[in-house]
Amino acid sequence: MILLVNPWIHDYTAYDLWAKPLGLIEIYSWLKSKNIDVELIDFLYQYYDEIPDKKIKNLSKRKDGRSKYYRKKIKTPDSLKQVEIPRKFYRYGNSEKIIEKKLKNIKNPELILVTSMMTYWYPGIKDTIKFLKKLYPDTPIVLGGIYAKLMFNHAKNNINVDYIVNRKDYINIKKIIKEELNIKVDLPQSRLKLKLKFDAYDNLNYVPFRFSIGCPFNCSYCGSTFLEKKYRCSKLEFLKQEYLRFYNKGIRNFAFYDDALLLNSKKLFKPFFKWVIEEQLYSNFHLPNAVHINYFDREIAYLMKRVEFKNIRFGFETIFRDKFVESKTDRKNFQKAVNIIEKENIDKRKIRIYLIAGMPGQKFENVKKSIKYIQSHKLIPIPNEYSPVPHTEMFTYALKVSPYDLKNEPLYHNKTIVPCNWKKMTYEDIQQLKQLARYDVT
């Protein structure tokens, strides 16, 4: 049996905003479709049957799928002790007892695949692997996912595993399965054609959904293009079938995981939602990721309103466009989007405009002006702290200006510490900007 694991998170803060390890779920779905004996355990998942009712009741959760994670206070890592911020450190995810109970119900694994996300969450991976090694000392462990791709050498030197997959995931996993288990498994025809299976999640009340993989824009601060070299779209008919498959099972919350949802809207977004309206297959649609302002038009606005998107997030970053902030939008396009929102009478309380705060060399005053600009249009700005991502153009700049060793210690990529702080953008400044951004549209 092959065990797939989504590991614990160690961080100051973490919240489940429809966050599921889609890459791992894809691999699970692929292996299951090839009749491989496979199990997936998500150390973060709050609603396993093994978790006592009392614990679930105590956890603040929303009907649409968003929720807090269980957490336990842990020691702040030594490298972060020099960072003077008034925040405690936690391990997010289920207790060892719950995970052990869950693991007792399945066979002993012959191979374990652990995924990874943020670079600065690597201590959570180490902790997870230590725990797994205690239970299964002789089982080979493979590490994959985002951290393994962005910081392969760091992972090689710091994570005690048998294999690290940092590219061509499917081909390499296929090879490892052959080597360790002597099983030949065929590659999927296409990742976008995989029928995703969420049966490893008891009581899941939403599903992640996507029209495409990747993003063609290559913004200077974003790792999307490094992680997914090509932007690829699904086929409309397949998306309809997949939607119906979940809809007929009673799922009424769908969270879009696309990086570029509105691209190719003539082929996908528009016909898909026209079909939802025609067939009256309404659900709650959520956008955990921001969408592109420049690709928003009246027809999209009308469809979003008709099918009642519960929240619409736009990426705007800053009003000060320079060489480091891509030209994906500007004030003119923002104004155009605002006009559409007003003409279509979309409830502005549902809209959030994402800004970035704490980019290398960015000043408090500039973010403040961006916040005021958004608010002057009676919209709600959300200043997100900048996190340096290796292999991006902005990372090179961040290395030069950050007071921390970003190159060798991924813990310093943590957005909470304000990795590129300087006298004109401190931790306290960011807290003040968040206060300023609080805005009541009504």
Shortest Cβ 386–ligand SF4 spacing (Å): 12
Shorter beta-carbon distance to ligand SF4: residue 91 or 328 = 328
Rounded distance between C-alpha atoms, residue 192 and residue 277, angstroms: 24
Shortest Cβ 224–ligand SF4 spacing (Å): 4
Q: Which residues bind to ligand SF4, rule: CB under 6 A?
A: 215, 217-219, 222, 224-225, 259-260, 315, 328
Q: Report the DSSP beta bridge partners of residue 207.
A: 254
Shorter beta-carbon distance to ligand SF4: residue 32 or 286 = 286
What's the alpha-carbon Rg for the chain, to the nearest Å? 22
Give the burial string for 98-132 (b: 16+ CB within 10 Å, else e): bbeebbeeeeebbbbbbbbbbbbbbbbbbbbbebb
Q: How many residues make up the chain in this entry?
A: 442
Shorter beta-carbon distance to ligand SF4: residue 222 or 374 = 222
Shorter beta-carbon distance to ligand SF4: residue 149 or 328 = 328
Shortest Cβ 293–ligand SF4 spacing (Å): 10
Shortest Cβ 328–ligand SF4 spacing (Å): 6
Task: Kindly tell me the burial class for residue 393, based on how many C-beta atoms sit within 10 Å of its own C-beta (0-12, 13-18, 19 or more).
Answer: middle
The DSSP symbol for 99 reads: H
Shorter beta-carbon distance to ligand SF4: residue 58 or 218 = 218
DSSP result, 347-408 = -GGGEEEEEEE--TT--HHHHHHHHHHHHHTT-EEEEEEP---TTSHHHHHHHHH-SS-TTT
Shorter beta-carbon distance to ligand SF4: residue 41 or 356 = 356
Shorter beta-carbon distance to ligand SF4: residue 315 or 383 = 315
Shorter beta-carbon distance to ligand SF4: residue 37 or 330 = 330
Shortest Cβ 195–ligand SF4 spacing (Å): 25
CA angle 87, 158, 388 (to 5 degrees): 50
> Within 10 A of 302 (CB to CB), how many other CB atoms are there?
17
Shortest Cβ 392–ligand SF4 spacing (Å): 9
DSSP result, 274-301 = HHHHHTT---EEE-SS-EEGGG--HHHH
**Helical (H) or strand (E) element with 342:** helix 331-343
Under the phi-then-psi rule, with left for phi > 0, alpha for psi from -120 to 50, and beta for the rest, what region is 218? left
